[in-house]
């Protein structure tokens, strides 16, 4: 409970930071009035609400139990769009009240916050983001969405980050620098920490991530026919489980060679040092690792650090950049990093002002926390959160016409061991009249890294693969009604022995009808199915909701 309160306070702090974006930016001393003015087209939208609903859930597999419970919820959806700042907020708190032992009384916080504020316009900007979500922890350490209320395997996930970025010019040299700090917490259930007859699964607890980078560059055709640059960066993630540490330091130079008005070749070379280390677990009299009340291994801080990964040396990459218009951009890179071939890139295309296509390919070494805060930082600042139409849970995606739209790829596995993550994510959003829709899909491959001779050694070299997709569709019916529908699917293929795979699929739909100017009635239905080899579970439920909502 203490950890949950601390994590909730982190969400609240970032929420306050992002709402500061609604404060007009004042002109600096000596600056022009125009720089300090707020655009007349500034848009601010704040929609707080409360809901009271009755939910019935019928078990289709493996039994036929039927349970009912009351849900009381309060939340706010807000957005700020201005000249020098912008933010989107979707936060929801709910209390579920069960009537028998089959349904637990639960409190949940879910939502996403993302925004920025210019301290000095076009020079110094502060950005922040936060996420709260719930999921189900499976016996192989995988996460699946939309757990049933009262499920002992349910967990809350919190993540938040903030930091400044700096941009200026010194003659022909463009200077960029940034710093970011992030915190991630997983409140995993005790039931899946140590399963009788199986090896213990050390589920991620929390981590603190910091990163800093600086880059100096010239553009082609300014001081030289080609663009040249030099940069350096540092990233460190400290994971509480067994005091794991990921440290990455690099320095590199790069060159941009224009081929045509829309195409350029890019190349870079440098030096990088990546280290992953951890400490041993406390052992009992029989030499077995000791776990705490939360099921996680206890760290023996009297022991020295043990290296699990130590790669340093030359890094390089070559690629192509294609930008035929303001609506289209493509980057593709291949090179050498992490002592092997590495691929990364992105594609963004806006066929119109009401549609957007985005694709990203990534390759990184990190822990669960850094992977999640990075995905959170890549979300756009103007969006509406996609939520389960029945429970109201944030499903990991946002509906937006810009940026990466999902963090689902970061939520594949919640094991504590550090990993190399490679994958791809793609999304498409469109708004056609009163209808808004979005679809996203991705693939994430994690190869875990752990020191030999430690309790995590069995994870070293093991590969988990996650395939996921989300779909959202919604719109208005006249001026007094609206509807929404969404569907999800995720498949985790685990390389750990005796764990098996997990498939989760589901869909939900809701209809809202205004009764008065602020009061509306709400009805929703949902189907969810989980097929888990890890715990020999084939579980399916059908749920329905009737409720009232009041918008302030």
Question: In degrees rounded to 5, what are phi and psi of residue 66?
Answer: -125, 125
Q: Averaged over 139-168, what is the pLDDT?
A: 81
**Three-class SS state of 456:** coil
Contacts of 189-193 spanning 24+ positions with Cβ under 8 A: 189/137, 189/152, 189/153, 189/154, 189/155, 190/293, 190/294, 190/295, 191/152, 191/153, 192/137, 192/138, 192/139, 192/153, 192/295, 193/291, 193/294, 193/295, 193/296
| The pLDDT of residue 9 | 47
Beta bridge partners of 344: 333
pLDDT score, position 159: 96
Complete DSSP assignment for 83-113: SSEEEEEEEEEEEEEESSTTS--EEEEEEEE
> What are the sequence ranges of the domains in the chain?
2-28+43-551
Predicted confidence (pLDDT) at residue 433 exceeds the cutoff of 90: no
Per residue in 68-105, pLDDT (tens digit) is: 889 999 999 999 988 889 999 999 999 988 876 666 67
CA nearest to 505, candidates 520, 522, 523, 492: 492
Residues paired with 133 in a beta bridge: 157
Helix (H) or strand (E) holding 495: none
365, 245 contact by CB (below 8 A):
no
When pLDDT is cut at 50, 70 and 90, the band that residue 190 belongs to is low
Check whether 532 has a pLDDT greater than 90: no
Instruction: Give backbone dihedrals phi and psi of 243, rounded to 5 degrees, phi first.
Output: 55, 45
Per-residue model confidence (pLDDT) at position 198: 54
* pLDDT (0 to 100) of residue 234: 97
152, 136 Cβ separation under 8 angstroms: no
**R_g (Cα) of the chain, nearest Å:** 24
Question: Which phi-psi region, left, alpha or beta, contains residue 376 (left: φ > 0; alpha: ψ -120 to 50)?
Answer: alpha
Are the C-beta atoms of 184 and 1 separated by less than 8 Å?
no
Q: What local confidence, expressed as pLDDT, does residue 332 receive? A: 97
Mean pLDDT across the stretch 350-374?
Answer: 93
pLDDT, one tens digit per residue, over 232-250 is: 999 999 999 999 999 999 9
- Please state, in angstroms and rounded to a whole number, the distance separating the CA atoms of residues 421 and 431: 33
Query: Regarding predicted confidence, which is higher, 287 or 425?
Result: 425
Which backbone phi and psi does 196 adopt, to 5 degrees? -55, 130
User: For residue 107, which of 158, 149, 138 has the smallest C-alpha distance?
Assistant: 149
pLDDT tens for each residue of 193-229: 444 555 667 889 999 999 999 999 999 988 899 999 9
pLDDT above 80: residue 139:
no
Give tens-digit pLDDT for 308-345.
999 999 999 999 999 999 999 999 999 999 999 999 99
pLDDT, position 151: 63
Q: How much is the pLDDT for 344? A: 96
Indicate whether 5 pLDDT > 80: no
- How many Å apart are CA 84 and CA 536, to the nearest integer? 53
Residue 176, pLDDT above cutoff 90: yes
CATH architecture of 2-28+43-551: Beta Barrel (2.40)
Mean pLDDT computed over 415-441: 91
Give tens-digit pLDDT for 466-492: 999 999 999 999 889 999 999 999 998
**6-61 pLDDT, tens per residue?**
444 444 444 454 444 444 433 333 333 333 333 445 788 899 999 999 999 998 88
């Amino acid at each position: 409970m203490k950890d949950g309160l601390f994590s909730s306070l982190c969400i609240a702090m970032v929420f306050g930071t992002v709402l500061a974006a609604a404060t007009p930016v004042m002109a600096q001393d000596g600056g022009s009035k125009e720089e300090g003015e707020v655009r007349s087209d500034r848009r601010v939208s704040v929609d707080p609400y409360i809901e009271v609903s009755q939910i019935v859930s019928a078990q289709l597999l493996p039994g036929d139990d039927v349970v009912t419970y009351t849900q009381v919820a309060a939340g706010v959806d807000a957005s700020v769009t201005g000249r020098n700042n912008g933010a989107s907020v979707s936060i929801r708190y709910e209390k579920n009240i069960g009537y028998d032992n089959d349904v637990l009384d639960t409190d949940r916080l879910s939502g996403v916050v993302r925004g920025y504020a210019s301290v000095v316009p076009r020079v110094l900007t502060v950005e922040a983001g936060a996420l709260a979500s719930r999921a189900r922890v499976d016996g192989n350490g995988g996460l699946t969405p939309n757990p049933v209320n009262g499920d002992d395997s349910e967990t809350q996930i919190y993540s938040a980050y903030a930091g400044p970025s700096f941009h200026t010019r010194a003659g022909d040299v463009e200077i960029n620098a940034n710093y970011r700090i992030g915190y991630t917490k997983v409140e995993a259930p005790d039931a899946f920490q140590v399963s009788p007859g199986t090896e213990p699964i050390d589920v991620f607890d929390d981590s603190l991530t910091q990163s800093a980078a600086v880059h100096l560059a010239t553009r082609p055709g300014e001081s030289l026919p080609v663009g040249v640059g030099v940069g350096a960066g540092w990233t460190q993630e400290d994971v509480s489980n067994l005091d794991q540490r990921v440290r990455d330091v690099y320095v590199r130079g790069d060159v941009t060679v224009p081929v045509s008005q829309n195409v350029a070749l890019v190349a870079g070379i440098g030096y990088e040092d990546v280290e992953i280390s951890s400490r041993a677990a406390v052992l009992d009299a029989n030499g077995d690792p000791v776990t705490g009340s939360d099921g996680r291994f206890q760290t023996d801080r009297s022991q020295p650090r043990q290296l699990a990964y130590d790669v340093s040396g030359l890094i390089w990459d070559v690629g192509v950049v294609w930008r035929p218009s303001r609506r289209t951009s493509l980057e593709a890179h291949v090179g050498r990093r992490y002592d092997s071939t590495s691929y990364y890139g992105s594609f963004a295309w806006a066929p119109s002002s009401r549609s957007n296509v985005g694709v990203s390919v990534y390759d990184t070494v990190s822990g669960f926390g850094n992977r999640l805060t990075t995905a959170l930082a890549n979300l756009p600042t103007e969006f509406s959160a996609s939520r389960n139409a029945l429970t109201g849970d944030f499903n990991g995606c946002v509906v937006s016409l810009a940026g990466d739209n999902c963090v689902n790829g970061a939520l594949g596995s919640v094991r504590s061991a550090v990993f190399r993550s490679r994958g791809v994510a793609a999304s498409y959003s469109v708004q056609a009249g009163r209808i808004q829709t979005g679809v996203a899909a991705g693939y994430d491959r994690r190869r875990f890294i752990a020191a030999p001779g430690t309790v995590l050694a069995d994870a070293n070299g093991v590969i988990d693969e996650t395939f996921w997709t989300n779909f959202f569709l919604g719109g208005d019916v006249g001026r007094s009604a609206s509807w929404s529908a969404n569907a999800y699917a995720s498949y985790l293929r685990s390389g750990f022995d005796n764990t098996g795979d997990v498939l989760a699929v589901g869909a939900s739909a809701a209809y809202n009808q205004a009764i008065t100017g602020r009061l509306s009635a709400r009805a929703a239905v949902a189907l969810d199915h989980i097929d888990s080899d890890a715990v020999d579970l084939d579980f399916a439920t059908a749920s329905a909701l009737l409720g009232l909502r009041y918008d302030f």
